[in-house]
A = this chain, B = another copy of it.
Amino acid sequence: MEKITSTSNNKIKYIVRLREEKKFQAEEQLFFIEGLHMVKEAIKRNIIITIFLEERMLNKVENIAKFECILISDNVSNKISSTKTSQGIFATCKLEEQEINCDKNILLLDQIQDPGNMGTLIRSAASFDFQTVIASNNSVSFYNPKVLRSTQGNLFSISLVNNDLLKVISELKEKGYLIIGTVLNEESKSLKQVKFIEKQKYGIIIGNEAKGISLELHDLIDINLNIEMSNEVESLNAAIAGSIIMYNIKK
């Protein structure tokens, strides 16, 4: 089994780029994961390309011999880990084209920048039976290490798609989706007063942490919801707002 002990090895440089650069992930059609839980989930989904691991982790994965594995030394493990204490196991995975599930509610993320918010929104989407998350092209990468960590491994069960929201939302409306936003205006409705229709499919837009939903999308919104809250507070965290709305729509 190959062993890498130098952090300046080309494969290691490649991995670090893959971990950090969204564009590079798209070009290579690969992403990089870390931690035993994530690697096991990726094995279940059959998307593993190469496992990188410290020797101490060899007996932690069943049938490890079935996979392309590369051993790494401590210093390399620390270099490629995005956390203070490396878990000692990593993998590159196939980034497959994912399909929009048009039978279920859909979460639409407009320029979400904070990786913790993105990861938490994906985890909540999976929890509340939203099978697809579509993020605008200028959102943080689904495969940013902090996004992956915040999902707690709940990203493999749902489709993650990057696309132009103006285009996608127009298409969803043609397919009968009602689009929900959180723009405050005269027509916005209190969340507790809205009755969600059982067989209706919804698309929920969550806007950028500072700027909210892009102006160009406002006209596409069918219902703007207002989460009732104290006047003293300006706004909720984006992941909280999105999760409260998804929970309330879930049957």
User: Which of A4-12, A85-93, A173-181, A239-247 forms part of the interface with chain B?
Assistant: A239-247
How many A residues have CB within 8 A of the partner chain?
28
A25 in the interface, Cβ–Cβ < 8 Å? no
- Min C-beta distance of A84 to chain B, whole Å: 14
Number of identical monomers bound together in the oligomeric complex: 2
Asked if B233 and A154 make an inter-chain contact with CB atoms under 8 angstroms apart, the answer reads yes
Contacts of A235 in B (CB 8 A): 152
A123 in the interface, Cβ–Cβ < 8 Å? yes
Top 5 nearest A-B pairs by Cβ distance?
Answer: A127-B229, A127-B233, A240-B243, A120-B237, A126-B233
Asked if B227 and A247 make an inter-chain contact with CB atoms under 8 angstroms apart, the answer reads yes
Contacts of A20 in B (CB 8 A): none
- Min C-beta distance of A133 to chain B, whole Å: 14
Q: Considering only CB atoms, which chain B residue lies closest to A247 in the complex?
A: B244
Asked if B232 and A124 make an inter-chain contact with CB atoms under 8 angstroms apart, the answer reads no
Asked if B237 and A124 make an inter-chain contact with CB atoms under 8 angstroms apart, the answer reads yes
Q: How far is the CA of A222 from the CA of B228 in the complex (A)?
A: 26
Asked if A123 and B236 make an inter-chain contact with CB atoms under 8 angstroms apart, the answer reads yes
Asked if B123 and A233 make an inter-chain contact with CB atoms under 8 angstroms apart, the answer reads yes
Contacts of A236 in B (CB 8 A): 123-124, 127, 243
Contacts of A244 in B (CB 8 A): 243-244, 247
A150 in the interface, Cβ–Cβ < 8 Å? yes
Q: How far is the CA of A7 from the CA of B32 in the complex (A)?
A: 38
Q: How far is the CA of A121 from the CA of B234 in the complex (A)?
A: 15
Q: How far is the CA of A127 from the CA of B230 in the complex (A)?
A: 5
